[in-house]
A and B are shown apart, each in its own frame.
Chain A
Amino acid sequence: MSEAAVKKLPRIVINEKFCKGCSICIDFCPTDVLELKGNCVAVKNLEACTRCQLCDLRCPDFAIQVFD
């Protein structure tokens, strides 16, 4: 069994109704997990997420949260 399969991934919850696509979360993410899809943020690479919650901290729209 590989290490990647054992590692539990975090859960990033994005409220698409609240997100205005300002890309603050994308710019502050240290591991480049998020991307902009149209006018809303989306998860690009969940495995890189370190659960630092910087996206949640600086999201002005209450649109993103990281659950363990």
Chain B
Amino acid sequence: MSAPAVTEKKEKISVPFDYNKYLRPNKLPHIWCPGCGHGIVLKAMLRAIHNAGLDQDKVCVVSGIGCSSRTPGYVDFNTLHTLHGRALSFATGIKFAKPDMKVIVVTGDGDALAIGGNHFIHTCRRNIDLTVLVFTNATYGMTGGQYSPTTPIGSQATTSRYGSIEPPFDACEMAKAAGATFVARGTAYHTLELEKTILEAINHKGTSVVDIIDACPTYFGRMNKYKSATHMMEVIEKDGTVNVKQADKLPPEKVQGKALRGVLHKVERPEYCEQYESLIMEKAKGK
């Protein structure tokens, strides 16, 4: 009888992750469309928070307006759903008033880079200890699929019926140039890698920006002739990106035109709240 072999194999299996601990079950199911990548990213975020060992009451999730910004409604932390593009301003206030709080900002590409573009660059410049998760789905899903600052050239949207002619923003390059001390990119397809990236971003002291590529099958997908949510994930997220560690080893033609995944930039620089505190203490001693 071959039963013992099966039993041995079974022990390697872990029990599924219990998301209910971090969710508000009465708010579910969420409003996101079938196949929307935001749910996958939310799961990776919850696992990363769990692995970071953070106390639920010491975490604050802040968001602006948009599909991705619905996240705080579903998670059981201190949460704040704020103005369009101004999530980072509110988050800065929270962090400044309560430096012990772990503040995670969940924002969309339009929210962070277009409407809140100015707040984004100045948050990066200050290097205040926030974890910024930018859900990049290249569309304004909630208002009907208009093109966003990350929509690739030639892609159709409600407001670009003949294809977008605007060059897209690279959120990572922008964050790096503005002075963020941790810049990374992940995708909903590479969900375990994303979990590790978010964990590293949470543990980093300073502004950490994670650009997360996910799919909007309802607007971007339908208008650009993707067959399904899985097809979008495979074309945009799997084939359209390459890990930064592998990029050096691959021939240049395989890296050309692809977005780099993984930790792209990590430096140490004095954090804003700490600097402020030390300045105040120094001046208080002087008198």
Contact = CB atoms under 8 A, between A and B. Distances in A.
Contacts of A62: 19, 23, 28-29, 39, 43
Contacts of A28: 230
Q: Range of interface residues on chain B?
A: 20 to 34
Nearest to A10: B13
19 contacts: A6-B2, A18-B28, A22-B229, A23-B228, A23-B229, A24-B35, A24-B233, A27-B230, A28-B230, A51-B13, A53-B16, A57-B191, A60-B32, A61-B30, A61-B39, A62-B29, A65-B16, A67-B15, A68-B13
A44 interface: no
Interface string B10-37: 1001011101000100001110111111
Given A6-B6, A20-B29, A62-B43, A27 B16 contact: no
Contacts of B236: none
The 9 A-B residue pairs with the shortest CB-CB distance, nearest first, are A60-B39, A22-B35, A22-B34, A20-B34, A27-B230, A65-B16, A18-B29, A6-B3, A68-B13
A58 B237 CA distance: 13
Interface of A: 1, 3, 6-8, 17-18, 20-24, 27-28, 51, 53, 56-63, 65-68
Given A18-B28, A58-B191, A67-B15, A8 B35 contact: no
Contacts of A60: 32, 35-40, 42-43
Contacts of A65: 16
A20 B37 CA distance: 13
Contact of B40 (A1, A23, A58): A58
Contacts of A67: 15-16
A17 B4 CA distance: 38
Contacts of B16: 53, 56, 65-67
Contacts of B28: 18, 62
